[in-house]
Amino acid sequence: MSSGPTRPSQDHSVSSEEPNARPLALWGSARTATYLSEGVRQSGLEVSAVGGVDDSTRRLIAPDFDGEGYDDPRGGLQASDVDCLVCADVNLDPAPHLKAGRLLGSLEPLTRVVDSASQPELLGEFTRSTGFKAAEQILESFGPIASIQVVSHCGQGQGTLHARLHDAMRILERMCGALEMVDAMLVGPLAGQSRDPVNAHIEAIPESVRDLTGHLGILVRHEPRAVGMISVSDQTSWERSVRLLGVGGTIEVDELGVSWIDPSGRAIENRTLLEDPFDQACQQLAGELRDLVATPRRLPMTEPTIRTQAACEAVRLSCRTRAPEWVGKARELIERM
């Protein structure tokens, strides 16, 4: 029996003597400001420009930044010596920055294919966390997965519902393979719920997945045979976790570790519960920001990326139709756009 959490080695440290050779610019929104701000603070990187739609947003992103802010993500950056932009805003179009050759990291996923040859590097995914990597190391010994339960929650300033949904879908794809069908329901922010939800639900579902907000419940069918149950929210405190059921028993995964209990109830792996999972997520983001600056790379649009976009769109469609939706059908719609 293991007495502590399973943790693969992970070193995101940067020497204090290593210069930040690429000026780092930030662009964010009120919905993501806390996550972006804390990740950048813990990274120790130098920030040369901070952007947002107004002064209050820029102060949320970088309260101690005393340089000049900008409110135009295109013209404002063209006038400055910046070749690395970290974006945390669903409304920012990455295409001009990619075409300009600017290194681009994002806390928010794409909703469509921008450029098949290049895309922003998506930062902070749970599939890159220490806990998830530890879980992948024991999956072969665990055996086939029959059921997967995913929790992907955040609160004000910690991201969007789309980001948490995309995160959850990536977990499902990595652990169980391609998604076949989804059946989803969205409950909007409780203060704004309609008194006539039966007739109002269609109007309450936005035309774009990036505008979703509230609490999502999703039932997923995988190929060949596995069921997924997902809870996604941007209206509560930060939590990302996975529970797997199968012939090997039960595996539970959080940001930092994994536990495994066999069918008889015997503990094979134990993990220490996190006191502050959001802080752990910010530590992960900080390390990825340092890696982004230290090792510039251009990422092509890949098949998994397109599959995840289709799965998220299928969830939106299911919320609107109140019926199961095929992920393949959603992909056809995206590719025609």
Measure the CA–CA gap between 81 and 102, rounded to whole angstroms: 11
Q: At 125, give phi and psi (nearest 5°).
A: -65, 145
Measure the CA–CA gap between 269 and 260, rounded to whole angstroms: 5
Q: Whole-model pTM above 0.85?
A: yes
CATH code, 126-270+301-336 = 3.30.360.10
**236 contacts 153 by C-beta, under 8 angstroms:** yes
**111 contacts 162 by C-beta, under 8 angstroms:** yes
Measure the CA–CA gap between 139 and 136, rounded to whole angstroms: 5
Domain ranges of the chain: 126-270+301-336
pLDDT tens-place values along the chain, 337 residues long: 444 444 343 443 333 344 445 678 899 999 999 999 999 999 999 898 899 988 999 999 998 888 778 887 766 665 456 778 899 998 888 877 777 777 789 999 977 655 555 678 899 999 999 999 999 999 999 999 999 999 999 999 999 999 999 999 999 999 998 899 999 999 987 545 555 555 555 557 888 999 999 999 999 998 767 899 999 999 999 999 999 999 999 999 999 999 999 999 999 999 888 899 999 999 999 999 999 888 766 665 566 688 899 999 999 999 999 999 999 999 988 877 7
